[in-house]
């Protein structure tokens, strides 16, 4: 098991696709996040699957199609606060529940996503 990537450990493409699809279902229902996103999340989900595949050690699908992720720069058009980061992570926790992702692998992925999410914050607000 020690030679497996987090991507493989998670269950590869099938589980990642299900998790990301469910994630955007939760985003759509989230009153903090929904206003920032387009109505049709098909393309958003497709890019996120590509990104998380490489983020978790799988093939570099995102970079192959879109170049360097530059995630903070790509998020600059959207005003993202601590509240958004917290809500984003809450939706991801629910998506992880939906595929029964538990234990050290979940903790590892959440800790990396937490750093990334707060790195996207580009607008200050009063809530933490």
Residues of the shown chain interacting with ligand HEM in the complex, contacts defined by CB under 6 A: 33, 36-38, 43-44, 47-48, 51, 66, 71, 74-75, 78, 80, 84-85, 88, 113, 116-117, 120
Residue nearer to ligand HEM on the CB measure, 10 or 33? 33
Cβ at position 124, least distance to ligand HEM in Å: 14
Residue nearer to ligand HEM on the CB measure, 3 or 111? 111
DSSP-assigned states of every residue in the chain: -TTS-HHHHHTHHHHHHHHHHHHHHHHHH-TTTGGGS-S--HHHHHHHHHHHHHHTTS--HHHHHH-S--HHHHHTTS---HHHHHHHHHHHHHHHHHTT--HHHHHHHHHHHHHHHHHT--S--S--
Cβ at position 5, least distance to ligand HEM in Å: 16
Residue nearer to ligand HEM on the CB measure, 1 or 43? 43
Cβ at position 84, least distance to ligand HEM in Å: 4
Cβ at position 111, least distance to ligand HEM in Å: 12
Decide: 90 and 110 in contact? Cβ < 8 Å. Answer: no
């Amino acid at each position: 098991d020690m030679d497996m990537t987090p991507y493989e450990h998670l269950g590869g493409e099938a589980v990642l696709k299900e998790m990301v699809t469910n994630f955007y279902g939760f985003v759509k229902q989230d009153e903090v996040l929904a206003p920032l996103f387009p109505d049709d999340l098909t393309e958003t989900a497709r890019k996120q699957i590509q990104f998380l595949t490489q983020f978790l050690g799988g093939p570099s699908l995102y970079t192959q199609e879109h170049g360097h992720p530059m995630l903070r720069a790509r998020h600059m058009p959207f005003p993202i606060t601590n509240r958004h980061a917290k809500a984003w992570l809450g939706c991801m926790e629910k998506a992880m529940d939906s595929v029964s992702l538990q234990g050290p692998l979940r903790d590892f992925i959440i800790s990396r996503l937490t750093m990334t999410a707060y790195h996207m914050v580009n607008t200050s607000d009063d809530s933490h």
